[in-house]
Structure 1
């Protein structure tokens, strides 16, 4: 008789094995060693091709150590400039984790398009080119284990999910032991609330989770990466003085204090020890970095949140001369200075958020302003910003010169809606008009930007009658992180599905940054200072109220998270500010920010040379503003003034209907101007 032996598992043994697996901490993970063995840079992606070299990035050693399971901290924050190599840390953390300690890994970018671009251009090539990972990931599988936003190991032991912070659905119903949050400063509230909180919660179920937060900073208050850095250990890189050995942080303020603007190639630091004061030059950097130490300003946070800050001066990816030249190119223009502080100095740009006092601006204009309606000396390019309201169109003519200076030339209010033939005809006449400059020449407007956010079809009907090289449509972007000027993505007609023709001439501009920069520049009182705003005499008080009508204010969400938005003063119109931003958008499209000295020289030679003297005809003599009941009076040397009219509280989009009497005097002056 044959007996069959059936082997059964010992239930107690199986339970014990499961318990051991659950309670066993993650295996040793050495990101530094793994990077040296596996990360290889190509000549296309790096100035230093070849295997990962710790000597080039010594400041990353401690950060990668903090990311290992041996360090008890749960969150690691890295705030730094754009020329540091932060992405290298993220790549090592992501790929090293999936190779050495498999599990599910979450990568979150500001938006889903950003996430897809990173997956295609960065992640996929890295998986193919990393020998230890190439065989672990299928390419173009049909079972869904390989897609743009999801990469799963062949053995099923781990996967990389790539998400956008703007998509709450992609941040829900997943649990991830490790995650990396990229460009954190650019994350904005999504439909479900705060995406950073949503992403953090994805790791709540793991006792030994690790969350890496990376970003260059943006604007304070409100910068996410700065807030995260300040909540952590606040570790800074200390290096020894090459002369006395005193340990110190290399700071931008130190370099700036001793910067010779005529010789940026000599950019250097000075030892902060008063007993030394030795000059620290770039050739000292390598030896100093070899002895770099991270020291915490908030050491009590080290156990749960380690945060690091570093900037471009420590990096071999740039030079101190390039940093100095970047500052000289940005100096004096707040929007450009913001980019410098963010991308070079690794610091958030601090803005007051409050507008300057309008009465002070008015008094300065009356005391020192240029002649109204005349293009002052130095204004070599002119642009027109146009804003459309229910019952009127408002426009502002602004001149632009060297050293990022601007000059308000004239303000207009035209009655009627943009759809009306009479209104369009007056706008056409405005584009044909010329203005005298300080040298006796008459110049036309170079570039026009009209608001197309409201009444878009009607605005386009007017815009398309003029050349694209001279007239564009614009609208303010909703985000402070948007580019200063960017063409609107292709828009299609919902009914026909066809591409809307205006898409090629429609631009978004970052109104938040432009307002911040304008308010900083309006505070400057020295006419020779970079970014100075020249104001004419004769503008009404209402213009200055409108120009300063907005504030950057804090808003607390239902979740308790704080966001910062620009908000208009209640009951105060803001077309003076809107048309200024539109005029600046036109200037950027014209290329004012990128004009070289040679180009400015050419414009100056063409536009600021006095024409041959001749007797002016009576019709060429400009009009001066008149009092009610008076006839037009001509005065040599003065140009017509068309001030913004006083109006009541705004209704509608941003300005709204007026009381019907508010435009009489100003519009009468405008009519004489356009018809004369």
Structure 2
């Protein structure tokens, strides 16, 4: 080839090399270069943006010239969330190279993502292969969870390796199934803050995406971020009146037998068949509810599934009907299909402000006349003892008498002296009688187990028992005591400390069930009643947990106060079930007897003082756990001079 013939070719190559790159959006890159593999896609072949229009704007937020920095996408399962991430990843590697972190909740999910998404992306997309520095698996720059490409590096990490996450800087962070990060992050870090910190070295060009399906209301991180965002919903026009509206589950209707299903326009009431959905979605768009928020938020539900890529409306309706009455199935449907946080229906009436509003304008002491017995629960912390004294009435109606935090390290004796003084004080009753704490239960787990055992062993309080949370979530409220001490022969010391396992899940279900059913009752009919002298922190701590049916346990609500008021109430309830008391088994006659004894101690009823009970008189002793009167000084009721009746 002569120089004259080669000159225009060389000039053309130089011109293309020197010319500024034409701006390209992520959706345009995906339509031009992305090839879906049969290993992870139902429809392999070239990527089509019109197949799921809802993903286009979310992808374009990560274009090089987009001003958007933070995006949260709360989407149903199998909606294309992973493909969305892969398109953003491929675009960034080819068009806007920088260090990238792809973070997943666990090692298993990370390995699946690499096998089903990352490896097919490299194998099926020539544009990605052209920017890879090496395609050989033997090269150090091409490990399984690390890829080196021109202008950047790709790190694939999981929440089980927080040290690796903390030591990596990146301009782009893609977090998949973000709601699961908090429970799997072993380091205890806040997952959002930890991931956001990875982009500190790229203040002018960083981009972050957090995507996934929600979980438990109050603990769902992705829902928390979505609530702070501009909250975008996909509005579609009605085929009849053209009114634009988002598709919501409440708008779906069906016949009683489920044979027909349709959507109802909230403006004109027209019945919309599912075959019209594709055209409606194509004409729709994202509309923010809070324009101007710093975070872009996107939410869609299963009604937006593209035809052929997800369950049909009538299938969703059948799933919904099958889930009724089964909280685990209902949670799965609401989380996975509606992409909304799940809240236990029994917990909806158990809110901090709702509970506080029920407080009655009564003092904590003297306790109301219907309170007939008292127990206490103690939570052991490294620097304090949280103590709650609870009063009980007929049918185990509850009145929290006091909640106190005694400062001091349980390893020292001072805090134990304060505990003895607190629980030994007489409790003034409205009748003029005096109650005393009949049993107290103290948590022995944690860093001060031996100190708790030593105090129980000292017997400075009557019926003071050591307890621990039962391992099984289905354990009864109070289990059989277990010996804790060993004698000099290495055998169990039968005279040592007994520790009782407490079924905290069962007791919390009982408490929250009472609080929920009390919502519509007048004060005098409620099972759990409160004084308005209790602090706001007490009410917040009492309802600081929510039930997770998937794990069958209660977990802290994010941002709620400390849960010691709840734990100590649980322990006080367990104390009421002590084998020598068993208040939950008392009959009405036994409660009436206790009430009569209180009135007698106040001087309103004359009781015989002889050893034998005259005919027709009340027994001189409280009933035992089986209801049989026993001839001994009774616990829990004393006269003002301190003598037991």
Question: What is the SS of the residue equivalent to 1:268?
Answer: strand
Matched with 2:147 is 151
Matched with 1:200 is 196
Larger Rg: 2
- Using the TM superposition, give the Cα deviation of residue 136 of structure 1 relative to its aligned residue in structure 2, in angstroms: 4.1
Matched with 1:312 is 302
Is 1:330 the counterpart of 2:326 in the alignment? no
Question: What is the SS of the residue equivalent to 1:220?
Answer: coil
Question: What is the SS of the residue equivalent to 1:90?
Answer: helix
- Structure 1's 665 and 515: CA in aligned 2 closer, same or farther, altered over 3 A? closer
Matched with 1:552 is 544
> What do the CA deviations read for 1:4-25 (whole angstroms, capped 9, x no partner)?
xxxxxxxxxxxxxxxxx9xx99
- Using the TM superposition, give the Cα deviation of residue 223 of structure 1 relative to its aligned residue in structure 2, in angstroms: 1.8
Q: Give the Cα–Cα distance (whole angstroms) in 2 for the partners of residues 313 and 333 of structure 1.
A: 22
Matched with 2:24 is 29
> What do the CA deviations read for 1:595-625 (whole angstroms, capped 9, x no partner)?
xxxxxxxxxxxxxxxxxxxxxxxxxxxxx99
Mapping for residues 72-471 of structure 1, pairs under 5 Å? 72-137=67-132, 138-139=134-135, 141-153=137-149, 156-188=150-182, 190-191=186-187, 193-206=189-202, 207-255=204-252, 258-263=253-258, 265-273=259-267, 276-301=268-293, 304-316=294-306, 317-350=310-343, 352=347, 354=350, 413-417=479-483
- Contact residue 60 and residue 89 of structure 1 kept, 8 A: yes
Q: Give the Cα–Cα distance (whole angstroms) in 2 for the partners of residues 341 and 253 of structure 1.
A: 13
Q: Give the Cα–Cα distance (whole angstroms) in 2 for the partners of residues 176 and 97 of structure 1.
A: 12
- Structure 1's 236 and 571: CA in aligned 2 closer, same or farther, altered over 3 A? closer
- Contact residue 237 and residue 280 of structure 2 kept, 8 A: yes
Matched with 2:34 is 39
Question: What is the SS of the residue equivalent to 1:328?
Answer: helix
- Using the TM superposition, give the Cα deviation of residue 171 of structure 1 relative to its aligned residue in structure 2, in angstroms: 2.4
- Structure 1's 145 and 136: CA in aligned 2 closer, same or farther, altered over 3 A? same
Q: How big is the alpha-carbon RMSD for the aligned residues of Structure 1 and Structure 2?
A: 5.0
1:665 equivalent among 625, 630, 633: 625
Question: What is the SS of the residue equivalent to 1:106?
Answer: strand
Q: Give the Cα–Cα distance (whole angstroms) in 1 for the partners of residues 221 and 328 of structure 2.
A: 19
Question: What is the SS of the residue equivalent to 2:227?
Answer: helix
- Per the normalisation by structure 1, the TM-score is 0.52
- Using the TM superposition, give the Cα deviation of residue 105 of structure 1 relative to its aligned residue in structure 2, in angstroms: 0.8
- Contact residue 86 and residue 117 of structure 2 kept, 8 A: no
- Using the TM superposition, give the Cα deviation of residue 100 of structure 1 relative to its aligned residue in structure 2, in angstroms: 2.1
- Using the TM superposition, give the Cα deviation of residue 143 of structure 1 relative to its aligned residue in structure 2, in angstroms: 4.6
- Structure 1's 572 and 151: CA in aligned 2 closer, same or farther, altered over 3 A? same
- Structure 1's 625 and 310: CA in aligned 2 closer, same or farther, altered over 3 A? closer
- Using the TM superposition, give the Cα deviation of residue 268 of structure 1 relative to its aligned residue in structure 2, in angstroms: 2.0
- Using the TM superposition, give the Cα deviation of residue 568 of structure 1 relative to its aligned residue in structure 2, in angstroms: 6.3
- Structure 1's 663 and 295: CA in aligned 2 closer, same or farther, altered over 3 A? farther
Mapping for residues 606-645 of structure 1, pairs under 5 Å? none
> What do the CA deviations read for 1:191-232 (whole angstroms, capped 9, x no partner)?
362121121122233202211110111122232111222222
Aligned residues between the structures: 423
- Structure 1's 309 and 393: CA in aligned 2 closer, same or farther, altered over 3 A? closer
Q: Give the Cα–Cα distance (whole angstroms) in 1 for the partners of residues 105 and 561 of structure 2.
A: 17
Unaligned runs of 5+ in 2: 1-17, 359-389, 398-443, 446-464, 487-498, 519-528, 530-540, 547-557, 575-585, 591-621, 629-645
- Structure 1's 563 and 47: CA in aligned 2 closer, same or farther, altered over 3 A? farther
Q: Give the Cα–Cα distance (whole angstroms) in 1 for the partners of residues 144 and 393 of structure 2.
A: 56
- Contact residue 35 and residue 121 of structure 2 kept, 8 A: no
Question: What is the SS of the residue equivalent to 2:51?
Answer: coil
Unaligned runs of 5+ in 1: 1-20, 365-387, 400-407, 421-454, 460-474, 477-510, 526-540, 542-548, 555-560, 578-623, 629-661, 669-676
Q: Give the Cα–Cα distance (whole angstroms) in 1 for the partners of residues 473 and 193 of structure 2.
A: 44
- Using the TM superposition, give the Cα deviation of residue 286 of structure 1 relative to its aligned residue in structure 2, in angstroms: 0.8
- Using the TM superposition, give the Cα deviation of residue 125 of structure 1 relative to its aligned residue in structure 2, in angstroms: 2.9
- Contact residue 396 and residue 576 of structure 1 kept, 8 A: no
- Structure 1's 363 and 332: CA in aligned 2 closer, same or farther, altered over 3 A? farther
> Which region of structure 1 is more displaced relative to structure 2, 206-215 or 44-53?
44-53
Matched with 1:531 is none
- Using the TM superposition, give the Cα deviation of residue 296 of structure 1 relative to its aligned residue in structure 2, in angstroms: 0.9
- Structure 1's 27 and 112: CA in aligned 2 closer, same or farther, altered over 3 A? farther
- Structure 1's 126 and 524: CA in aligned 2 closer, same or farther, altered over 3 A? farther
- Structure 1's 337 and 516: CA in aligned 2 closer, same or farther, altered over 3 A? farther
Q: Give the Cα–Cα distance (whole angstroms) in 1 for the partners of residues 330 and 288 of structure 2.
A: 28
Q: Give the Cα–Cα distance (whole angstroms) in 2 for the partners of residues 41 and 322 of structure 1.
A: 27
- Using the TM superposition, give the Cα deviation of residue 251 of structure 1 relative to its aligned residue in structure 2, in angstroms: 0.5
- Contact residue 69 and residue 207 of structure 2 kept, 8 A: yes
Q: Give the Cα–Cα distance (whole angstroms) in 1 for the partners of residues 469 and 72 of structure 2.
A: 47
- Using the TM superposition, give the Cα deviation of residue 305 of structure 1 relative to its aligned residue in structure 2, in angstroms: 2.6
Question: What is the SS of the residue equivalent to 2:283?
Answer: coil
